[in-house]
Amino acid sequence: MTQAWTTRKPTALLVLADGTVIEGQGLGATGAIEGEVCFNTALTGYQEILTDPSYARQIVTFTFPHIGNVGANAEDLEDLLPEKSTGAVGAIFKADISEHSNYRAAGGLNDWLKARGVIALCGIDTRALTVHIRENGMPNAVIAHAEDGVFDVEALKARAKAWPGIVGLDLAKDAAGQDVTEWDERPWAWNAGYGKAGNPRYTVVAVDYGTKRNILRLMAGLGARVVVVPPTASAEEILAHQPDGVFLSNGPGDPAATGEYAVPTIRALLETGVPMFGICLGHQMLALALGGETQKMHQGHHGANHPVKDFTTGKVEIVSMNHGFAVAANSLPDGVEETHVSLFDGSNCGLRVKDAPVFSVQHHPEASPGPQDSHYLFQRFFDLIDESKRKVA
The phi and psi torsions of 117 (rounded to 5 degrees) equal 80, 25
**What is residue 6's DSSP assignment?**
G
CA atoms within 13 A on the CB side of 359: 24
**At CA 334, angle to CA 330 and CA 340, rounded to 5?**
55
The residue count of the chain comes to 393
Separation of CA 41 from chain center: 14
Q: How many CB atoms lie within 10 A of CB 191?
A: 6
Active site residues: 280, 364, 366
Q: How far apart are CA 279 and CA 211, in angstroms?
A: 9
Q: How many CB atoms lie within 10 A of CB 45?
A: 19
Q: Do residues 97 and 71 make contact, with C-beta atoms less than 8 angstroms apart?
A: no
Name residue 229's beta-bridge partners: 207
Q: Do residues 350 and 305 make contact, with C-beta atoms less than 8 angstroms apart?
A: no
Nearest to 248 by CA among 203, 211, 214: 211
Task: Please report which helix (H) or strand (E) contains residue 376, including its range.
Answer: helix 376-392
Name residue 153's beta-bridge partners: none
